[in-house]
Amino acid sequence: MHSAIVMETIFDYQISDAGLQEQIRAEVLRLCPGRTDVEFGPQIRIVSEATVDRRRVEDAIGRLRYIRKSVEKDRPYESSHAPLWDQNPLSHLQETHQVVEVSEGQYLLQGEFLGLMNALDGLVVRLANQWGAVEQTYPTFVPVDLLKRINYFKDFPHHIMVAAPLQGRQETLERFAAAHDFSKTPFDTLATDGVLQPVELVAAPSVCYPCYYGFRNRQLPGNGLFTAKSRCSRNEPSGFRALARLRNFTMREIMVLGDREFVLHWRKRMVDAMRAFMEELGLGGRIESANDLFFTNDAAYKAVFQHSFKLKYECQAYLPFSKEYLAVASVNLHNDTYGKAFRVTLADGSPMQSACIGFGLERWAYALLCQYGWDRAKWPDSLRRTFPETIS
């Protein structure tokens, strides 16, 4: 905390659950403007440059504790693989310039780390091809109409990153150019008041949305699977943590669209696929039911709903150096949510059903290095066979 004026707020809760700690930290950082630290011990200690809204933070902690108590997590798989490494590989990756910070939450990736990411992507592409998925590619920005229809702006406003061009009037462009002539006036941010057009585009927060949106207002031709790799962008109120939580990241997804029986069949195969990848790679961790971090007042009920109907399963890799779990992949069952939102129907007139499996490639590669380091000679045989080149 660099400010000379700091305020300390104490809450009489002892929280030992690492997952609950992470959720509380995210909520506190979202609710408290300015630089804020959250510490857990016999009590929760919040140190902030700004006044903490005690009532709102109390409500948030109560809501998250309620979710934890109200749900019984399903854990269909827990890996028996013991990690061989207990250090954070990030410093090595940065020293060898395989991971270079461009700005907060954004990195230039190259060398063997990027090669590992691409090899992992190749494993998912291999699976997608075996399943007969159609390869697609999507734009970096999605229209406001897409996210509006699924109520994303209400449920996840804290993730939104918008894109808008400058107004086309000559005087506006000249004024903007003059204000941002670096040879005359140093600047670190853009002064955009009164010069931007209304926002019509948003940086895509997930890969799969354009797939469903592409069938909007028409009948689905038939049951099918699709796959795509894209860059995704999300603001993170809980802060960015190098490769574990990025502002801009890479995901490969496989989407299934069709009738309910078809979608449920493939959803089960997707969960099985997460387990198969963990076993093939010797990845220590677990598969566990989970929920999204909603923003709205009814977030607790939405989270309980997700858990109760097992709509989301995460592949959570164990990070030995921090003794935490990191979600590297997830399977999500949407039921008819997107079919209704985008008015995609089946042949019988009912809404389309859907599900998806997504892999965060930076996180996946990072988790493997956290467990096995970069010395190939110390990797399990299965991992060496999959990735024959050394991380160096």
pLDDT of 131 reads 98
Question: Binning pLDDT at 50, 70 and 90, where does residue 294 land?
Answer: very low
Q: Which residue has the higher pLDDT, 30 or 309?
A: 30
pLDDT of 70 reads 64
Residue 264 has pLDDT above 90, yes or no: yes
- Compute the average pLDDT of residues 142-169: 93
Domain with CATH 3.30.70 in the chain: 7-70
pLDDT of 295 reads 45
pLDDT of 390 reads 56
Residue 307 has pLDDT above 60, yes or no: no
Residue 315 has pLDDT above 70, yes or no: yes
Mode of pairing for the β-strands spanning 344-345 and 218-219: parallel
Question: Binning pLDDT at 50, 70 and 90, where does residue 9 land?
Answer: confident
For residues 113 and 31, what is the distance between their CA atoms, to the nearest angstrom?
Answer: 35
pLDDT of 238 reads 60
- Most confident range, picked from 101-110, 151-160, 368-377: 101-110
Q: Which of 19-23, 171-175, 312-316 has the lowest mean pLDDT?
A: 19-23
H or E element, residue 287: strand 285-289
Q: Tell which CATH architecture fits domain 77-158+203-386.
A: 2-Layer Sandwich (3.30)
Domain with CATH 3.30.930.10 in the chain: 77-158+203-386
H or E element, residue 276: helix 260-281
- Compute the average pLDDT of residues 53-61: 86
For residues 365 and 246, what is the distance between their CA atoms, to the nearest angstrom?
Answer: 14
Q: Which residue has the higher pLDDT, 42 or 132?
A: 132
The pTM assigned to this predicted structure is 0.84
pLDDT of 6 reads 66
Residue 202 has pLDDT above 60, yes or no: yes
- Most confident range, picked from 20-24, 50-54, 225-229, 233-237: 225-229
C-alpha torsion sign, points 120, 121, 122, 123: positive
- From residue 370, how far is each of 90, 108, 109, 316, 373 by CA, in Å? 9, 19, 17, 13, 6
pLDDT of 376 reads 82
Question: Binning pLDDT at 50, 70 and 90, where does residue 74 land?
Answer: confident
Q: Indicate the burial class of 59 (C-beta count within 10 angstroms; 0-12, 13-18, 19 or more).
A: middle
What does pLDDT average to over the chain?
88
Write down the CATH number for the domain with range 7-70: 3.30.70
pLDDT of 253 reads 98
- Compute the average pLDDT of residues 56-79: 81
Q: Which residue has the higher pLDDT, 160 or 382?
A: 160
Residue 1 has pLDDT above 50, yes or no: no
pLDDT of 386 reads 76
- CA-wise closest residue to 116 among 148, 89, 137: 89
- From residue 336, how far is each of 183, 263, 346 by CA, in Å? 55, 10, 11
pLDDT of 84 reads 86
For 352-390, letters b (16+ CB in 10 Å) and e give bbbbbbbbbbbbbbbbbbbbbbbebeebeeebbebbeee
Question: Binning pLDDT at 50, 70 and 90, where does residue 4 land?
Answer: very low
Under 8 Å between Cβ of 75 and 288? yes
pLDDT of 2 reads 44
